[in-house]
Structure 1
């Protein structure tokens, strides 16, 4: 999956500010690629969370 596709999916989520991280991942359709990248490519996992507007402190705890 390209970075462009990740950002398109993330930007397509309506009401993202009121959602948990898991809700953001599920609604955006990025949950499977995130789970895989969390194991295999931590930088990609961080990029996905940034695209979903997760704050840096939370990203550090999650990754």
Structure 2
């Protein structure tokens, strides 16, 4: 995150006004389809460049 981005979110709530360069999603058993199939296009639409998924169900 750049200094400019950090300053822009320093005093804001959980709703960001600046698109983060990276989002990491932790897959929930209740939203597997949404996490893998829908969110990636939603995040791309708002300008997220990198999207990672952590699926604890797949970790052995």
Bigger RCO of structures 1 and 2 (CA < 8 A, at least 6 apart) = 2
With normalisation by structure 2, the TM-score equals 0.31
Larger radius of gyration: 2
With normalisation by structure 1, the TM-score equals 0.30
